[in-house]
Amino acid sequence: MTGYEKLVLMIRDSAKKQNNGLLQGVMTSSSSCKIGEQEYLQDDLVIPVEYKKKICSRVLIVDGEDRSTYIEPLKKGDVVFLYPITDTEFLIVGRE
């Protein structure tokens, strides 16, 4: 388990205990997000590297052809789950 995965588990456990769970938002670009009517820009978001670039999740080469599976970076329209760090700063902890 990576450090990021441990952090996500701690946040989820904390949210369950405190009843102040995660927020749901919609990405308005690859680095900005709207929560309700409020839009938050790149400086307001902590976006893990896993969501910033294309990552291979399964390698499969068949007869020299790449049939690997990739996780795409965040893009406009993606639904994300955020954990509030402060009133104006949010950590993206997952996506739908």
pLDDT band at 12 (very low <50, low <70, confident <90, very high): low
The whole-angstrom separation of Cα 78 and Cα 93 is 13
Mean per-residue pLDDT over the chain, rounded = 87
Q: In residues, how long is the chain?
A: 96
Q: What is the pLDDT of residues 17-35, one digit of tens each?
A: 554 578 999 999 999 999 9
Average pLDDT rounded to a whole number, residues 48-66 = 91
**Percent of the chain beyond pLDDT 70?**
90
pTM over 0.85: no
Distances (CA, A) of 74 to 7, 54, 66, 81, 90: 20, 9, 23, 12, 15
Average pLDDT rounded to a whole number, residues 32-48 = 94
Q: What is the pLDDT of residue 19?
A: 46
